[in-house]
Amino acid sequence: MRKNLFRILSLLLLFQGTGAFAQNPNFHIYLCIGQSNMEGAGRIEAQDTVNIDSRFKILEALDCPELNRVKGQWYTAKPPLCRCKTGLSPADYFGRTMLENMPQQQSLGLVHVAVAGSKLEIFDKAKYQAYLDSSAKEKPWMINMANQYGGNPYKRLIEMARIAQKSGVIKGILLHQGESNTGDKTWPAQVKKLYNDILADLNLAPNSIPLLAGEVVGADQGGKCTSMNEIIASLPQTLPKATVVSSKGLPAVPDKLHFSSAGVRIFGKRYAAALLASQGKRITIDESSIVPSEKMLLYPDGVPNSKPAVMKETGAENGVYKGITTPTLEYYKADPNLSTGTAVIVIPGGGYGVVVYNGEGINIAKALAEKGIAAFILKYRLPSDEIMPDKKIGPLQDAQQALKMVRENAEKWGIDKNKIGIMGFSAGGHLASTAATHFEKSWINNPNNTSLRPDFQILVYPVISMKDSLAHKGSRENLLGKNPSQEDIAYFSNDLQIKANTPPTWLTHSADDKVVDVDNSISYFERLRKNKVEVEMHIFPKGDHGFIFRHPGWMNPLFDWMKRNGWTK
């Protein structure tokens, strides 16, 4: 009897010695810290809110009544994961990927505290207040975010981590931070101090858990802070438990600071793959959603309307091309989870003098593919007497050939041949609208009589008219020459070529455009309306020419229009 009583008392003492809570060794906890990309800069889409494993949990770090979440409580990890209104974080797909590779009896939880725009100093337990005080005037929005954590993000992180320890075991730290510390060579030492502080404050043994640090947007994507990656790469020399996660190839949004939603998803999977690799388990992750599937010659059997020339193509170094003699079509595969079979041929602008391939081509194609729309970037010939017998029709030939190629290969690429649209920017908008109004005459070899009519057209601050009162003079001169005939002016003034069978149209422009007058779009809209062609137009009061680089949400009305028409989900 006394022996049994002694055993019971011993077990009770042992239970009290562990903190008087039932810690589940199969519940793995990860701490997520950083600035905006970790916080969640990606747009949350429908695919991110479904099929979430009930074993995947988030410990809410603040009260979110709009999400029916209370600070300090566990919930299924449906985004947003950081704060009440943040976006998609790499921590999301890190957790999903980890669970796919963990035994069924194990689960995974996140403690997520991050502040957009902040230097790493915001998590320094000794220096955070001085940093916040010095940033108050420059970044009041950052102060507001910090205030949601009681004015001390580090303290909130530790508070939540201690709550998490009552339920599970802390297994690692995910960090994405560095944009605001670009060029700071003390950054690795600051990360090491933060790592040591966390472990000490949570009573974890020194160097007992891994830390994964992700690179910022890379040079291959034109990242604004890409030089920071060299400093991030040196982190394991200072902190041996650190592993660096590559951002190579991950698409960014136009600000070149933040990853797109597609990039965020793959980044999270890479965090998981890096952690598993450090544990001796290698996995393969599907990155097809961010990789161009194919780059093709537009004319495999020879370019029509061409003549021998010594002109050399330039522009690969900055994505603004000139001297194109061999046009191409670059295919970006649609996200298979969202595809409806829709495809769009993207035609960048440049006044018929250059092709702004990266800014109005690659960035757009990635955004479309991410929404489930197959995208094909047309690198077209610029009108030139040096390389063409008739420069006026050269660009139109290339646009028609692109439509023909996509339609004839639709089945191979999983595309609905009746859902192929065309999209153009500035002078590329002129070419797109030319293709959409001149499809009844084929300027290319078309033995199968494949339809050259786009099923819809998307025109962004487009050049439409070649008339003196509206024409963008540079585009007109490059296409038609210095003294065009009235016949050519009328033929290539696309508002004059509209018929009842012109494809449905979506237009956008800014009212203060000083390069291409907004009346180009208005004139086109009015002619479409009078011909009873479905048309929608969005005019921004300000933004000037090329406003897509300054208004990141400009595509939202476009996607709404496409959804209403059944071209996206």
pLDDT higher than 60, residue 543: yes
pLDDT given at position 293: 66
For residue 380, give both structure tokens.
Answer: 């077209």
Overall domain count for the chain: 2
pLDDT higher than 90, residue 241: yes
Question: Which residues are known catalytic residues?
Answer: 36, 255, 258
> Of 6-15, 17-26, 162-171, 525-534, which range is least confident?
6-15
User: Per DSSP, what are the bridge partners of residue 259?
Assistant: 252
> 259 with 332, same domain?
no
Q: Nearest 5°: phi and psi at 244?
A: -95, 135
CATH number at residue 192: 3.40.50.1110
Closest CA to 211 of 187, 243, 189, 169: 243
| Buried/exposed code over 228-238 (b: 16+ C-beta within 10 A; e: otherwise) | bbebbeebeee
pLDDT given at position 7: 46
For residue 463, give both structure tokens.
Answer: 């050049």
> 532 with 415, same domain?
yes
Q: Is residue 518 domain-resident?
A: yes
Final residue belonging to a domain, choices 288, 306, 335: 288
Q: Any residues with CB less than 8 A from the CB of 99 and at least 6 apart, and which?
A: 53, 55, 56, 106, 107, 108
> pLDDT by residue (tens digit) across 450-496?
999 999 999 999 999 999 889 999 999 999 999 999 999 999 999 99
> pLDDT by residue (tens digit) across 268-306?
999 999 999 999 999 998 887 776 668 899 999 999 999
Final residue belonging to a domain, choices 233, 258, 288: 288
Of the pLDDT bands very low, low, confident and very high (cuts 50, 70, 90), residue 447 is very high
Closest CA to 55 of 21, 119, 118, 101: 101
Rg (Cα) of the chain, in Å, rounded? 28
> 188 with 66, same domain?
yes
CATH number at residue 340: 3.40.50.1820
> 336 with 266, same domain?
no
pLDDT given at position 9: 39
Position 510: which residue type?
S
pLDDT given at position 14: 37
> 284 with 340, same domain?
no
> 221 with 343, same domain?
no
**Percent of the residues in the chain that have a pLDDT greater than 70, as a whole number:** 96
Q: Is residue 387 domain-resident?
A: yes
Q: Is residue 430 domain-resident?
A: yes
For residue 294, what are the CA distances in angstroms to 177, 285, 333, 413, 432? Answer: 33, 20, 9, 10, 22
Q: Is residue 301 domain-resident?
A: no
**Percent of the residues in the chain that have a pLDDT greater than 90, as a whole number:** 85
pLDDT higher than 70, residue 11: no
> 346 with 209, same domain?
no
> 550 with 484, same domain?
yes
Of the pLDDT bands very low, low, confident and very high (cuts 50, 70, 90), residue 20 is very low
pLDDT given at position 294: 83
pLDDT given at position 385: 95
> 349 with 491, same domain?
yes
Q: To which residue do tokens 């161009």 refer?
A: 292
> pLDDT by residue (tens digit) across 243-259?
999 999 898 988 899 99
> pLDDT by residue (tens digit) across 319-330?
999 999 999 999
Q: Is residue 253 domain-resident?
A: yes
Looking at every residue in the chain, the average pLDDT score rounds to 93
pLDDT given at position 292: 65
Q: Which domain does 335 fall in, by range?
A: 327-564
pLDDT given at position 17: 35
Q: Is residue 316 domain-resident?
A: no
Count the neighbouring beta carbons within 10 Å of the beta carbon of residue 441: 9
> 342 with 211, same domain?
no
Q: Is residue 304 domain-resident?
A: no
pLDDT given at position 22: 62
> pLDDT by residue (tens digit) across 335-376?
887 889 999 999 999 999 999 999 999 889 988 998 899 999
> 64 with 178, same domain?
yes
Closest CA to 396 of 507, 304, 318, 477: 304
> Of 6-15, 461-470, 505-514, which range is least confident?
6-15
pLDDT higher than 60, residue 3: no
> pLDDT by residue (tens digit) across 381-426?
999 999 999 999 999 999 999 999 999 999 999 999 999 999 999 9
Q: Is residue 144 domain-resident?
A: yes
pLDDT higher than 60, residue 4: no
Average pLDDT over residues 538-559: 91
- CA atoms within a 13 Å half-sphere pointing along the CA-CB vector of 303: 23
> pLDDT by residue (tens digit) across 186-210?
999 999 999 999 999 999 999 999 9
> 371 with 448, same domain?
yes
Final residue belonging to a domain, choices 288, 317, 338: 288
